[in-house]
Amino acid sequence: MFYLLTLPVKIFFCILIAFLFLPFTLLILPFFLLRLVIKAALLIVVLPFAFMAAFIGIAIAFVAVFLALLVPLLPMAFLVFCVWALVQLASRPSYTRVGGQAPPTLPSP
């Protein structure tokens, strides 16, 4: 109830203080606008570099995750390669007819 009794006094003092500070705020307004212009210009200059740094960081993160998943599989890949190489060395070359022609033969001495 006391709040309602003092409400007109609060409104009066708020309006009075607003009118007293209005000239100072009007004097400061151009400096705020200048600050906004400088920040916008700085943003236009710095933003491409920030995007490049973010892109490089994301690329490095992807490479790191790829390697973290790939490195544990390298021993298994090496074993598969060894088995493949042994099979290639142990198997005879196969001769097939290409285009209905006989396979090339070595000349006899």
Task: Write down the H helix ranges in the chain.
Answer: 2-70, 74-90
Q: Distance of CA 78 to CAs 36, 60, 83, 87, 90, Å?
A: 61, 26, 9, 14, 18
pTM equals: 0.49
Q: How many residues does the chain have?
A: 109
- pLDDT 10s digits, 31-54: 999 999 999 999 999 999 999 999
- pLDDT 10s digits, 6-28: 899 999 999 999 888 888 888 88
Q: Alpha-carbon torsion 52, 55, 61, 64, what sign?
A: negative
